[in-house]
Amino acid sequence: MPQDRPAIAEIIELLGRKWVMRIIWELRDQALSFRALQSACGDLSPSVLNDRLKRLDAAALVEKQPGEGYALTAMGRELLEVYRPLDRWARAWQARRR
């Protein structure tokens, strides 16, 4: 991995992968087990979910807590905060499109 690649590009590549944002979003309130997460995402394929969890773990955004399931790390929670305004924006966007 090139080290001088802009951070924003690196994170865009991760977040731009299908289901990644959704998984973070579903973990916003509580830790979820693998299967709970799977059904929260509408029965996402376990192979894809597993891949995403690995990537998110490698990026230190999500971690597995024994007995608890998967949860956001401190950085993951910070990222979620960055995304918080998106929810607001999305409503305005959807409203204006009708």
7 belongs to the binding site for a copy of itself (CB under 8 A): yes
Choosing from 6, 18, 29, 97, the residue that interacts with DNA (CB under 7 A) is: 18
What is the rounded distance in angstroms from the CA atom of residue 64 to the CA atom of residue 6? 28
In whole angstroms, the minimum distance from the beta carbon of 84 to DNA comes to: 24
Choosing from 33, 46, 54, 78, the residue that interacts with a copy of itself (CB under 8 A) is: 78
**What string of DSSP letters covers 21-59?**
HHHHHHTSSS-B-HHHHHHHTTS--HHHHHHHHHHHHHT
Residues 19-48 that bind DNA (CB under 7 A): 19, 33-36, 43-48
Q: Are 22 and 59 in contact (CB under 8 A)?
A: no
Element (H, E) at 88: helix 74-96
In whole angstroms, the minimum distance from the beta carbon of 78 to DNA comes to: 23
Q: Which stretches of the chain bind a copy of itself, using CB under 8 A?
A: 6-12, 15-22, 25, 59-60, 75, 78-79, 82, 85-87, 89-97
